[in-house]
Chains A and B, each alone.
Chain A
């Protein structure tokens, strides 16, 4: 993902400065490490986000492999249960907040200005700040593992009172690190909204924007709306832990269920934050390699917007078994099912785009197609979980784990990888190695399904999640899952190899690297020079 950076052109820099004033004309941009610490360039910041995300993906992946190694056989063999809990928790936190979200933000940084014909993000310094908060936040989070009493051990959803009354002392540091990550997300999202609304090339209307831009606009709105709620709920935890309040403690008139309401009011939109940009990427790739316009552009936009609005009304489907009043169970069951409608519209549109297209199977397309099929499996298991009475059986079993890993791994993560393969030629000027990419793809697809498909059965048969040991009848499913997990993990090394090779060299890519690609980013050279669109491009409208 590290793009080969073109040399900095002081000449270009000063042209931009004379247009605006003298501030940057006098000193050349900093070199070496300082260049990366101080950069305000959307491409460099995008690369930083992507590299950070890849590193965190491996750290979170190692935590997951610790979990799968322990679950390879029944009984306790490798780690003690306390450490096992820290591993499941840290795996979830790192993957959600430090791998998937920053990867999408990195792609947004790189591609949104290129796709809308803007010279950079609207607020470039704020952009640098948003990025550099992340290493600070996650170093602090990872350091909790070394603190007395260990790191967070209450699951990535950190339900009170496990995360308050019964939590390890390091929880305060966990809360503070999440605050930093939250500030980063909010500022990043504000920047993205301002960029999209304000910096489009003259003539580009909202309904001309590529879907990746649309989905990110809506995602950014969700982020600005719900990250503060997360900040609020962790602040209340902090006060319960350190200042003797009783927000989540019934003894003082509070309620632990209140924690869950607040958390999931953030948490459900959060899962859409992790999937909407993926929809945007897939909606760019499928038309390119089917060599057809995207079917139903407008309906894609409206579907995305309705998913976002509905996502504020479904949160308690995570809480069917806490004992909600019947009316609430019904309300949240129906709203959840309604979300499947716009989601179905999207899947329908992708498939219709493929219909009678002249399809080729380049690496980005492989991942995008796998996305459509496997994400849909996750959508269906979601529908099963949405049925409140059925969820009484499924809740807190491996069936839920299977569901959300299908939407997040062959969903969000595959879409990120599809996007990386799709845009690598634009970033580096070279095509990724096709043979290796195919190896990566097939090993990943097989690995992912081996890992997560058996979890459906284990879950339906009653295997609880987040427990380091299990009854003998689950042994075979778990063995397959663990083998698949190690296979999936190892195949990501191939991905790293492809990326590094692609940065170093490979078949040269022209400006328009893919025959069927239409959007503005393909009008600038590959690799994209450090500064693009310093004068606004003329936007050619084509009917969607």
Chain B
């Protein structure tokens, strides 16, 4: 930077439009949930949010490729992304915390265990178990059956772990300047991501149709869909980011020493992967 001065980005219309779009989407969602109408507003809001994100990132990419950003800006982006992922970790931590609390405290207490056992007076017949097949109140129908972790969930685990490896190979390729390696392995990662999502879709179908695991099926179904659902949403977001990266690689973006966009996508993908390991262990296996 000449004269050691700082780079300060120019004004942009995307932030304000983004907040309006988000507001529209939330109002639409609320209307759909509460009043059963407002789907157009919700859809419009969602599309507007996506559009704003697209344009905003496009501007950033343009500026970055125009050489406008200095090393300091790069560090700011890195830290921003790092702390954002930390906030996501805490979001999942809340859900894992809920799962552990239910399993170790709430259900045994409802069954009359320990000093808090008075809760057992509510439903004397109730016996705690995990997965919880018969919820305390008979009005709540529990699941009929549960998954074996060693079928689809194991396959999905292997897929995600593999995808982390292929992505790392792609990243190494970029660092070495082998664009073809990057393209091929990134493409493989994307395929793995899509198969994960597909398998998860199949699993949800089986959960609802064959196993009776639903959102309403007591706390097991609720925690199951909460954790896998938000994880799945993050996989979809991550896969979208990877797809964008693939397009950018095809267009010749990124150089071997300047590719933070790509690296950020890798960080995010590894984060999604690690969350899945936690899910596999505590939602499926144990």
Contacts and interface: CB of A to CB of B under 8 A. Distances in A.
Interface of A: 15-24, 29-30, 37-40, 118-120, 122-126, 128-129, 132-133, 136-137, 139-140, 169-170, 172-173, 176-177, 179-180, 183, 186, 189-191, 193-195, 197-199, 224-229, 231-233, 235-236, 238-239, 241-247, 250-255, 257-258, 261-262, 265, 323, 325-326, 531, 533-536
A122 B219 contact: no
Nearest to B134: A253
B34 A246 contact: no
B19 A133 contact: yes
B219 A252 contact: yes
A179 B26 contact: yes
Contacts of A533: 6
A20 B97 contact: no
A265 B73 CA distance: 34
Given A21-B67, A245-B226, A190 B84 contact: yes
Contacts of B93: 228-229
Sorting the interface of chain B by its residue count into under 10, 10 to 19, 20 to 34 or 35 or more gives 35 or more
Given A199-B6, A253-B219, 6 more contacts: A19-B1, A118-B6, A126-B80, A195-B76, A198-B76, A245-B215
Contacts of B86: 224-225
A499 to B, nearest CB: 26
Contacts of A128: 11-12, 15-16
B119 interface: yes
B216 A245 contact: yes
A176 B94 contact: no
A40 B10 contact: yes
Nearest to A327: B115
A418 to B, nearest CB: 29
A253 B15 contact: no
B90 interface: yes
15 contacts: A21-B7, A23-B66, A120-B8, A123-B77, A126-B15, A173-B34, A176-B30, A193-B83, A194-B80, A229-B93, A247-B219, A253-B102, A255-B106, A258-B102, A536-B5
Contacts of B72: 198-199
B98 A180 contact: no
A533 B67 CA distance: 22
A186 B115 contact: no
A176 B102 contact: no
B73 to A, nearest CB: 8
Interface stretch (B135-143, B193-201, B262-270): B135-143
A533 B8 CA distance: 11
A84 B19 CA distance: 32
A194 B83 contact: yes
A143 B216 CA distance: 31
Given A30-B11, A173-B34, A177-B26, A129 B219 contact: no
Contact of A535 (B5, B18, B29, B222): B5
A258 B16 contact: no
Given A37-B16, A228-B88, A242-B33, A140 B76 contact: no
A143 to B, nearest CB: 9
Nearest to A133: B19
A124 B118 CA distance: 55
Given A16-B5, A245-B226, A253-B135, A190 B216 contact: no
Contacts of B76: 122-123, 194-195, 198-199
Nearest to B140: A252
Given A39-B11, A172-B33, A262 B140 contact: no
Given A180-B23, A227-B87, A229-B90, A250 B8 contact: no
Interface string B61-91: 0010011101010011101100110111011
Interface string B192-234: 0000000000000000000000011111111101100000000
B2 interface: yes
B48 interface: no
Interface in B101-132: 101-102, 105-107, 110, 114-116, 118-119, 122, 132
B101 A129 contact: no
B263 to A, nearest CB: 16
A140 B19 contact: no
B252 interface: no
Nearest to A241: B33
Contacts of B87: 186, 190, 224-225, 227-228
Main secondary structure of the interface of B (DSSP, over half): helix
Given A120-B8, A224-B90, A250-B122, A132 B80 contact: no
B16 A132 contact: yes
Given A123-B76, A125-B9, A247 B98 contact: yes
A231 B76 CA distance: 25
B79 A197 contact: yes
Nearest to A190: B83
A254 B106 contact: yes
A184 to B, nearest CB: 8
Contact of B90 (A40, A225, A325): A225
Contact of B34 (A37, A136, A169, A191): A169
Interface string B5-47: 1111111111110111011001101100110000000000000
B225 to A, nearest CB: 8
A250 B18 contact: no
Contacts of A252: 135-137, 140, 216-219, 222
A27 B102 CA distance: 58
A140 B11 CA distance: 26
B147 interface: no
Contacts of A120: 6, 8
B75 to A, nearest CB: 5
Nearest 7 pairs of A and B residues by beta carbon? A232-B94, A24-B10, A253-B219, A251-B137, A20-B7, A129-B15, A136-B23
Given A132-B16, A228-B88, A19 B3 contact: yes
Contacts of B222: 239, 245-247, 252, 254
B137 A255 contact: no
A250 B75 CA distance: 48
B91 A253 contact: no
Interface in B229-284: none
A253 B218 contact: yes
Contacts of B27: 140, 173, 176
A531 B9 CA distance: 13
B16 to A, nearest CB: 5
B150 interface: no
Contacts of A238: 33
A415 to B, nearest CB: 26
Contacts of A24: 9-11
A177 B25 CA distance: 11
Given A245-B222, A252-B140, A252-B222, A21 B63 contact: yes
Given A140-B27, A190-B87, A191-B80, A250 B68 contact: no
A126 B91 CA distance: 21
B101 A255 contact: yes
B206 to A, nearest CB: 19
Given A136-B20, A190-B83, A323-B116, A246 B218 contact: yes
A119 B106 CA distance: 52
The residue among A233, A238, A246, A250 with the most chain B CB atoms within 10 A of its own CB is: A246
Contacts of A30: 11
